[in-house]
Amino acid sequence: MGKTKLSEAFAQVKKSGDKAFVPYIMAGDGGLSTLGERIKLLEQFGATAIELGIPFSDPVADGPTIQEAGIRALKENVSLSSILLELQKLKETYTIPIVIMTYLNPVFAYGIKSFAADCTQAGVSGIIIPDLPIEEEELVSAELEKHEIALIRLVSITSTEERKAKLANRSEGFLYAVTVAGITGARESYQKDIGEYLASLKAISKVPVLAGFGVATPEHVHQLGQYCDGVVVGSRIIDLFQEKNIEKIQELIQSAKSTQVLG
């Protein structure tokens, strides 16, 4: 069901002529009691799906903003199991697909079978594990497949053509195109060949291609949206929640709508 829910959400966006917008929030940042409210708010503003970060002590792909959000969540004693329990309680209150972003260590500690089963109970549609290389993904892929949970692959701008093709062919839900050589975090601009990189992935991917890492403004959404199917926005969304600037969050999500998208 998870994979179907994700594919249906992307199909609806495409039908509308819009670009997909997937905001990232750290589960438990501000306490788990804020999670349901934030999910419903992002759904109401028109997000396509929500990427939900799991706080972890050694987040190798995360920039300062997401690391700090993770530290705040860990101080609230938030864990993978408490997040999945909270999602299970909340799942009837929204319809938007939820994608979990976690590192491999918490999944191993949880137990692969239990993790996949509990994700299903919590209504999770997809999983992103940035430190899981494609060569080792059979550690989790069989259990996720059994529960129809999409395993979303990340592809790097520095990946070889052969590796890009392999990741594009194997990704489920969507292909997460990392647009910078480095960690997450808002940036002023992208390198000149970013359009060529995204367009080349779109040409070979069987699932939608979403650009992420450093997307922070409506201009970024417009620029990248010309070449792919949408964007993932993390650090900027976290900052705006911290600033309680809800209007700016709505404006950023709405910038992916067809009436706003340029090109």
DSSP for 121-176 reads: HTTEEEEE-TT--GGGTHHHHHHHHHTT-EEEPEE-TTS-HHHHHHHHHH--S-EE
pLDDT, tens digit, for every residue of 138-166? Answer: 999 999 999 999 999 999 988 999 999 99
Residue 185 has pLDDT above 50, yes or no: no
pLDDT at residue 10, rounded to an integer: 97
pLDDT in tens, 205-233: 999 999 998 899 999 999 999 999 999 99
Give the residue numbers marked as catalytic.
51, 62
Which pLDDT value is given to residue 180? 76
d(CA 96, CA 41): 11
Q: Please give the Cα distance from 81 to 42 (Å, whole number).
A: 23
β-strand partners of 150:
126
Structure-token pair, residue 5: 């829910």
Give the mean pLDDT of the chain: 91
Comparing CA positions, the residue from 63, 88, 74 lying closest to residue 187 is 63
**Residue 191: pLDDT band with limits 50, 70, 90:** low
Q: pLDDT tens across 53-79, in order?
A: 999 876 555 678 888 999 899 899 999
Residue 261: the pLDDT is 47
* Cβ(131)–Cβ(103) below 8 Å: yes
Residue 185 phi/psi, 5-degree rounding, is 140, 150
> Domain spanning 2-254: which CATH class is it, in words?
alpha beta
Over 50: is that where the pLDDT of 201 sits? yes
The pLDDT score that the predictor gives to residue 140 is 96
Domain coordinates of the chain in residue numbers?
A: 2-254
Is-above-0.95 flag for pTM? no
CA distances (Å), 259 to each of 16, 177, 249, in order?
A: 10, 24, 17
